[in-house]
Amino acid sequence: MMRTVFFTSSPAFLFRRVARPAARSARFASTEAAQKKAQEALGTAQKQAERLFETAKKNLGPLGERAGALLGLELSVAYRQPLFYNAAVAREVLKQVYIAENLAPPRSLSTVLDAYRTILARAKDPAYWRQALANGEVTRLAIYGVEAYGIFKIGEIIGRRNLVGYSLH
């Protein structure tokens, strides 16, 4: 079977021929811009962290120097640089996910109230629980419950400023 190729000078064909290289260079330019932005964020984070460490050392005296040594802050830049770079990259990735997924806090109180009403209505409905058992969705709900409980306990620990019990002194 022989295939015939027709050359055309239609506007769409010419546009595709011209636009493809431009799209490739735009894609590489955006990658270069992202790398440049990450490098700038890294530099800013390093400067801020160094200022913070120096201030902490001054204010805390020997204790601050000792804590810095334990955290590895006295080590060479070779150890600090990857840490700050990875933190900057993680921040940029999270920003992109936030934008791509259209994440945002609820815009009105009615949205929040409707969500809680739905949860409460489902919790009271025995038919929902039967269906959840049949589908195996109970495991997902149990995992969500454990996550919520863990977040609650972490909040308690932070609020108490102590891992176990309250400080009575």
pLDDT tens by residue, the chain, 169 residues: 444 444 444 444 444 554 555 444 555 556 777 777 877 877 777 777 777 767 766 776 666 666 666 665 555 556 667 777 888 898 999 899 888 888 888 889 999 999 999 999 999 999 999 999 999 999 999 999 999 999 999 999 888 888 777 777 6
CB 112 within 8 A of CB 106: yes
- The tokens for 66 are 């000792």
Q: Is 28 helix (H, G, I), strand (E, B) or coil?
A: helix
Distance in angstroms (rounded) separating the CA atoms of residues 46 and 52: 10
